[in-house]
Amino acid sequence: MDKQPTLLALWGAAVVLGLVGYAAARWRRWLVIPVLALIAFLAWSRLGDLADPVAGPAILQAAGRGYLIQACAALALAVILAVIGLAPRRGAPS
């Protein structure tokens, strides 16, 4: 468990990446793709150990099920914030 990121680090990274994705999508719509790829890479690199058949159960036993739920919720927030930036602007010409 000592090599896993803390929940504060997970939530902080999720909020920052989500807001970067939101701003990027507002500026240029296609820029959301690299941000989503970065979110996916960071999720895989930071939480990939949870899928390991040996280390995963040990991490869940040490951290608890709440850690997994919060980690998934933080990643979902990052993706949702980035995708919300794709919504059309109000008053924008069609």
> Residue 3 domain-assigned?
no
Q: Which tens digits make up the pLDDT trace of 47-76?
A: 888 888 888 888 889 888 898 899 999 999
Please give the model's pTM, rounded to 2 decimal places: 0.84
Domain holding 37, by residue range, is 29-87
If one counts the domains in the chain, the total is 1
Average pLDDT of the residues of the chain:
89
> Residue 61 domain-assigned?
yes
Which tokens belong to 77? Answer: 């927030």
> Residue 24 domain-assigned?
no
Q: Is the distance from CB of 82 to CB of 22 less than 8 angstroms?
A: yes
3-state helix/strand/coil string of the chain: CCCCCCHHHHHHHHHHHHHHHHHHHHHCHHHHHHHHHHHHHHHHHHHHHHHCCCHHHHHHHHHCHHHHHHHHHHHHHHHHHHHHCCCCCCCCCC
